[in-house]
Structure 1
Amino acid sequence: MSKPAHAPVPVFKLYGETTAWPTPDLIHWESIESRSRLHEWEIKPHQHGDLVQLLYVRSGRAELEVEGLVNRVERASLQVVPALCVHGFRFSDDVDGHVLTLALPLVEQVTGLLDSQALLAPACFAAGDSQPYLDTLFEAISREYARQEPGRELMLQSLISVLLVWIGRRALERTRSDTQQQDRGRLHLQEFTRLLEQHFREHLPIEHYAQRLGISAAHLNALCRRLAGQSALQMINQRLLLEAKRCLVYTAMTINQVSDSLGFSEPAYFSRFFKRGTGQSPKAFRIAR
């Protein structure tokens, strides 16, 4: 779905339409199949200036690209496409689902009442156990949209409000989960730092620390890079270098004694390690200080 860098992204009112909004409502509903079939199951990348789209893939397969991020969907999922987000879709020819397009004034009105920012950022939510609920809700929206019954506008807005509450709650759950993961990550890093302070002279492998923390070595490395800007091994080496510098500057220990106190098997190995980390030999570092 990539496009040439020089090609402008078309701004559509509704999919490929550049004409006026095709309905007196602030809402437009259609099935995924009815539109995508006309375009050979692919909607090219484009954006909407003042529309928000909610794409519910009930069954079939889809590739949903929004702002360069592609979600490959094989189970019921709901994609949020905020206004001005560049997006394009590919569908299997057995796709079943709904496209709900909301004019920005309606979105602002409803989200203001709900105190939710869930429609301001693109997101894809797996339906999971909520699929029967979402199936029923979208079917109700489609039926109400197709009829001209008394109270139609109020009913549509009410149904959409229910849908936006569901989206807002899922977005909040995701935010809380991300926050909890970040908090756990910080706790793991703190514990790693504490263990490192106790055992850095023992030259323990990263796997040992990870096992003590109850996580994998890869996870520990990822946490260190994300929260400390260094790999776990770099943190171990930096702690060794710090202690070596302290010994060389503040004690009368010989280089061999410093090497031995830091757990190196040979002074020559310590000297290579120190020079690799500082650019100087231990002796040159001591003289310079």
Structure 2
Amino acid sequence: MNRQPLGPDIELHRLAVPDRGRLPFAIGTFDTIGALSRAGFPHRHSFHELAYVTRGRGSHVLDLSDHPLRPPQLCAIAAGQVHHWGRASGLEGWVLLFEEDFLLRHPEDAALARELATGRPLRPDRAEARGLAALLAELDREYRAARAGHPGVLQALLHVLLVRAVRALPHSPPQAPAAADAALPRPHPLVAHFGRLIAEPGRADRTVGSYARELGVSTGRLHELVREATGRTPARLIRQQQTLEAKRLLGATDLTVRQVAAAAGFADPAYFCRFFRREVGLTPGEFRAGTGGGKHHGPGAESIDPRTARP
């Protein structure tokens, strides 16, 4: 990872890995991945991250929700989410980073990665913990050996890891192993693309029409596909994403309400305040006061240290 300052906004970290065939993927320990894997200041990624904590104290804060660490624990962060480690010390375990392009062989994996990042962290039982640790160790060995065909092997192992992690979530109903893959979400490619677009920060035009034009379909067709796949309208999903982005900025930056409004796609700050109060039940100022909002900065560091990332 490397850091890209965004002025007064939340830092965006991009994946910058050692050569490894230039795969948009990396795995290692908290130490070998580097200092930013333990960053104590709010930031977001252009990629997905899975952090499997086997030892340590503190908490993991994801989109303003503070989750105390009780290892073993799998913390999932989807691209675009804001997170940091709160008062963390002695972190040990695995850190796995991957861009969405790495999931093309198993496109349903993007939905699984996001599902893992929407709720509480996964605290596996003893058998699940052994299985996850074994998969991560195998991923690490395959990544470092970099033998012929290793990208396909890594994609297959990551697919298994995501499937098993989602199965282990408390709300996941038990499934027969033979039927598990068939029951996984397989969104229409256009719906998945729409989901990625609305999650991109900093976009000014967030109307349904603008997204439909970018996707090359009519607004009616976009509405039909999104409603069928999610049960919600595109407009509702856009409003939910705008609300989430506004919460992230109010809680993790010192941006003014006018600046937050603009960053969330609102030209009129007064309308933004009415919108936010309707959606959240609080004014932007009340919400910020309740979160103790304010930006935190950490020391500059490369996240994947090439001196320690080599085998």
**Could you tell me the TM-score, scaled by structure 1's length?**
0.50
Indicate the structure (1 or 2) with the bigger Cα radius of gyration.
1
* Structure 1 or 2: more helix by fraction: 1
Report the TM-score when normalising by structure 2. Answer: 0.46
